Structure 1
Amino acid sequence: MKNLKINELIKIGLPVTLLYAILRVVGIGCPIKFLTGISCAGCGMTRAWIRVIHLDFKGAFYYHPLFFLPPIYLLLFLFRDKISKKIFVILIAIGVALFITVYVFRLVNPDGIVIDINIKNGFIYKFIKIIISGK
């Protein structure tokens, strides 16, 4: 894996941030939920960080129990040259496993506030329905 410098991170992060901002302005919000009708693995993360700003850590945990991981992984990514590649890969795998575990648990137990499963609201479902019905 090629080591990225901070300016390269900005080149990647800025367009992604702008894309999400544009989607938000046009009322889409999460592109995964827009397309599928199913909340994504990061659903609730923004609301969790808003709760952190208000020093409501219980509320932050409610919105996303892994709210504390993104800044840790950002630092890990920025300083990956300072740790062994094996440790880096293990830590990334742990983070991915945690997100998958929490996501599956939340999908099995959706609360309708943070996690929502409504496939019929997804663009893909609506698009397929239009194609099938011919309208």
Structure 2
Amino acid sequence: MRFKKLTKQQLKDFLIPTVGILVFSWYIIHIVGSNTRCLIRGTIGIPCPGCGLTRAYDALLHGHILEAIYYHPLFLLPPIIIFILLFRKHPKINNIYNNDKLWWIIIGLFLLVYILRMVLMFPDQLPMQFNQEAIIPTIYRNLIK
């Protein structure tokens, strides 16, 4: 993917609402008492494509590689992506960074793994459990009482 350089105003126009939404979401999730750090799962109750990454890294740090793969089979991709983004100015890394096919493959892998995990594990198997404590399910339960 080729990204244009953002002007300071464009960056400001993006960051202010984004930070506002994140702070608001964090605040709401903690008022409702959600048991997750994931804004998507804490808001709508459904796991996001990244659900399980934190548990995977925790398992890896404890030496449990198979458990890490279980929690999220693509747990090694985010650090690689961050490395590419941080060092994209280097000529060799820049070639990787500008490879549109690579980015589409990564997006496709995440979507494929997400769909498979939703079919095989949702709604009752970790880490793809439905969050009953999330904002929208809580509001829904209160409305139908």
1:112 aligns with 2:125: yes
Cα displacement (A) at 1:129 = 5.9
1:75 aligns with 2:88: no
**Aligned mates of 1:34, 1:41 — CA distance in 2:** 14
TM-score (norm 2): 0.66
Aligned to 1:123: 135
Aligned to 1:32: 40
**Aligned mates of 2:65, 2:5 — CA distance in 1:** 34
Whether the aligned pair in 2 keeps the contact of 1:36 and 1:121 (CA below 8 Å) is no
**Aligned mates of 2:66, 2:141 — CA distance in 1:** 41
TM-score (norm 1): 0.70
**Aligned mates of 1:93, 1:80 — CA distance in 2:** 17
Change (3 A) 1:55 1:129: closer
Aligned partner letter, 1:123: I
Cα displacement (A) at 1:126 = 3.8
Aligned to 1:92: 103
Aligned to 1:63: 71
Change (3 A) 1:74 1:121: same
Secondary structure at 1:80 match in 2: coil
**Aligned mates of 1:37, 1:70 — CA distance in 2:** 23
Cα displacement (A) at 1:127 = 3.2
Cα displacement (A) at 1:46 = 0.4
Aligned partner letter, 2:139: F
Structure 2 unmatched runs, 5+: none
Cα displacement (A) at 1:31 = 1.1
What's the RMSD between the two structures over aligned residues?
Answer: 3.1
Instruction: Report how many aligned residue pairs link the two structures.
Output: 119
**Aligned mates of 1:3, 1:130 — CA distance in 2:** 46
**Aligned mates of 1:46, 1:66 — CA distance in 2:** 12
Q: Give the % identical residues.
A: 35
Comparing 68-77 with 25-34, greater Cα deviation is found at: 25-34
Aligned to 1:42: 50
